[in-house]
């Protein structure tokens, strides 16, 4: 008896990413142009932004470090080092971004750091707030003042930028550190710091 030859039939399914579509289990449809985004309903836009915010949170939770443009000339982002009475003070203002491929989240802010606990330290302050701007328009203020500490830091929220968009971002800050009440300023007062980046 002649054995029957069985044929294995393999079905290949090819998923094509059509314009305006992202292939992912929980991803909503995402636009590929400004015109397409404008055609989205309010519900579609909200779903897309919720998904993109979720992608940002997952990237941060996974330990992914943002790319950055810094005010200083070194990789640490240190704009200046002032030293007095064996206490050094460093500061930086920055633009940071996390690129998701179809766009990126961008934020601004900065920090001031002292090598020892001092009376007053700030990274911008209530009376002179730092600014984060996009094409010259203010997106958000940032500032942090600390008494009896050694570090002050603050960042704005992240702001979304689609892949077809390009803006000039600027962070401006004012930094200061005072050793004692009514005493010597180790840094500043109000040492100006700025950085810009076209993204």
Q: Do 60 and 80 reside in the same domain of the chain?
A: no
Q: Do 55 and 148 reside in the same domain of the chain?
A: no
pLDDT of residue 70: 83
Q: Do 76 and 117 reside in the same domain of the chain?
A: yes
Separation between Cα atoms, residue 52 and residue 104, nearest integer Å = 9
Separation between Cα atoms, residue 141 and residue 91, nearest integer Å = 18
Given 22, 39, 64, the domain boundary residue is: 64
Sign of CA dihedral 135, 152, 73, 83: positive
- DSSP letters for 17-82: --TT---STTPPP--SSHHHHHHS-HHHHHHHHHHHHHHHHHHHHTTPPPEEEESSSSTT---EEE
Burial of 137 (0-12, 13-18, 19+ CB in 10 A): exposed
Is residue 1 domain-resident? no
pLDDT of residue 25: 61
Range of the domain at 20: 9-64
Q: Do 93 and 186 reside in the same domain of the chain?
A: yes
Q: Structurally, how many domains does the chain consist of? A: 2
Instruction: From first to last of the 199 residues of the chain, give the pLDDT tens digit.
Output: 444 444 333 333 333 333 343 445 678 999 999 999 999 999 999 999 999 999 999 999 999 999 988 875 444 455 555 555 578 899 999 999 999 999 999 999 999 999 999 999 999 999 999 999 999 999 999 999 999 999 999 999 999 999 999 999 999 999 999 999 998 899 999 999 999 999 9
Q: Do 138 and 163 reside in the same domain of the chain?
A: yes
User: pLDDT by residue (tens digit) across 45-60?
Assistant: 999 999 999 999 999 9
Q: Do 60 and 76 reside in the same domain of the chain?
A: no
- Three-state DSSP class for 2? coil
Q: Give the predicted TM-score (pTM) of the model.
A: 0.82
């Amino acid at each position: 008896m002649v054995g029957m030859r069985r044929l294995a039939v393999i079905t290949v399914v090819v998923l094509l990413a059509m314009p305006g579509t992202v292939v992912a289990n929980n991803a909503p449809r995402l636009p590929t142009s400004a015109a397409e985004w404008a055609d989205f309903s309010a519900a579609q836009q909200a779903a897309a932004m919720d998904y993109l915010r979720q992608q940002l949170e997952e990237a941060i939770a996974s330990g992914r470090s943002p790319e950055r443009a810094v005010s200083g000339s070194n990789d640490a982002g240190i704009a200046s080092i002032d030293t007095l009475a064996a206490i050094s003070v460093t500061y930086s203002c920055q633009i940071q971004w996390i690129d998701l491929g179809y766009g990126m989240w961008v934020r601004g802010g900065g920090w001031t750091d002292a090598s020892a606990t001092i009376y007053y330290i700030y990274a911008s302050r209530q009376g002179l707030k730092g600014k984060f701007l996009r094409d010259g328009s203010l997106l958000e203020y940032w500032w942090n003042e600390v008494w009896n500490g050694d570090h002050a830091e603050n960042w704005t929220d992240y702001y979304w930028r689609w892949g077809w968009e390009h803006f000039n971002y600027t962070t401006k800050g004012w930094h200061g550190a005072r050793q004692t009440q009514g005493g010597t300023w180790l840094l500043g007062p109000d040492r100006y710091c700025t950085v810009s980046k076209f993204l």
